[in-house]
Amino acid sequence: MNRRVALATTGLGLLGLHRLLAEGDAGAGPVVVLKLDDVTVRSAKGSVNARWQKVCEYLEQEDLRAGCGIICNSLEYDNPDYVAWIKGIAERGKIEFWFHGWDHAVHEVDGEKFNEFSHRTYEDQKERFEKSIRLAREKLGITLTCFGPGGGVGTPSYDAVTARVMGEVPEMTAWLYPMPIEKIGAELAKGGRVTILDRVWAANIEKSVGVPDLAKLEAGLAANPKRPYFVLQGHPAMWDDARFDEFKRICDFLRAKKCRFEQPTACAKWVAAGAR
């Protein structure tokens, strides 16, 4: 999809783009949304993954806004340490928790494998949203407003049914789209209630799943100088000390570029406002 079409379909027409670029400091970098995937636990006891703790502590200490995606069936364990950890972070307000699926599991239809939100009925997909939102409210006291589907078996990780559900679930206003926007996302965005934050493949914090790489990000941003925002995906549970250090170098680089770190839903609101 070419750039003009991509902008038009996000609802971010050229006028909106110019307005967004004109905002803020001269020389400021783009808005960046750290999309950190796979917050979960798999038992009722035990502390939260130490790598996750480290990353979130770092983001809070450095005053960097970000978004962390919860796999919501983890809330069924009633793990007190896990619940307290999420609640504490959510209350301090720097990090948004978003909906990264119910089980993030690959399923099979006629012997073929699909991602969680692909090739499932409307009722099934809708229930995954609704029970996740309900559990997050009950256990964490937070309302999930942003969705990002989980992958596992390549693309796609959503389908037209997912878009229909996104258009109907009233809490959902932002979609961390797993790819550059296309027809399904564009149709949903036209409704005006859900804002699609799409991806630029070239610009990311990981060069392959779980491997942060500053050089890739630098090259990706340099190749897209006019883009007002970037969704940058990472998987903190896969970051050992060396990878975490690379992530910190990435954050330093983005700060030096005067990028504004934003939470997903807040970025979606900003994009929607710019498009009006």
Q: Which residues would be at the binding site for Zn ion (CB under 5 A)? A: 37-38, 150
Q: How far is the CB of 120 from Zn ion (least distance, A)?
A: 17
Quickly list H helices, the chain. Answer: 3-9, 14-22, 50-61, 80-92, 122-135, 160-168, 183-190, 214-222, 241-256, 264-275
Q: How far is the CB of 106 from Zn ion (least distance, A)?
A: 11
Three-state SS at 269: helix
Contacts of 83 (CB under 8 A, 6+ apart): 75, 139, 140
Closer residue to Zn ion, CB minimum distance, 100 or 139: 100
Q: How far is the CB of 196 from Zn ion (least distance, A)?
A: 18
Closer residue to Zn ion, CB minimum distance, 150 or 212: 150
Closer residue to Zn ion, CB minimum distance, 15 or 105: 105
Q: Which residue is nearest to Zn ion (CB)?
A: 37
Closer residue to Zn ion, CB minimum distance, 9 or 132: 132
DSSP annotation of 178: S
Q: How far is the CB of 103 from Zn ion (least distance, A)?
A: 11
Closer residue to Zn ion, CB minimum distance, 38 or 262: 38
Q: How far is the CB of 100 from Zn ion (least distance, A)?
A: 6
Using alpha carbons, select from 37, 153, 36 the residue that is nearest to residue 105.
153
Q: How far is the CB of 115 from Zn ion (least distance, A)?
A: 10
Q: How far is the CB of 38 from Zn ion (least distance, A)?
A: 4
Closer residue to Zn ion, CB minimum distance, 38 or 96: 38
Report the sign of the C-alpha dihedral through residues 157, 68, 183, 168, in that order.
positive
Using alpha carbons, select from 144, 153, 150 the residue that is nearest to residue 162.
150
Q: What 3 state SS string does 194-226 have?
A: CEEECCCCCCCCEEECCEECHHHHHHHHHCCCC
Q: Largest alpha-carbon pair distance within the chain?
A: 55
Using alpha carbons, select from 162, 87, 167, 96 the residue that is nearest to residue 124.
162
Closer residue to Zn ion, CB minimum distance, 148 or 220: 148
C-alpha atoms less than 13 angstroms from C-alpha of 149 in its C-beta half-sphere: 28
Q: What residue type is assigned to position 55 of the chain?
A: V
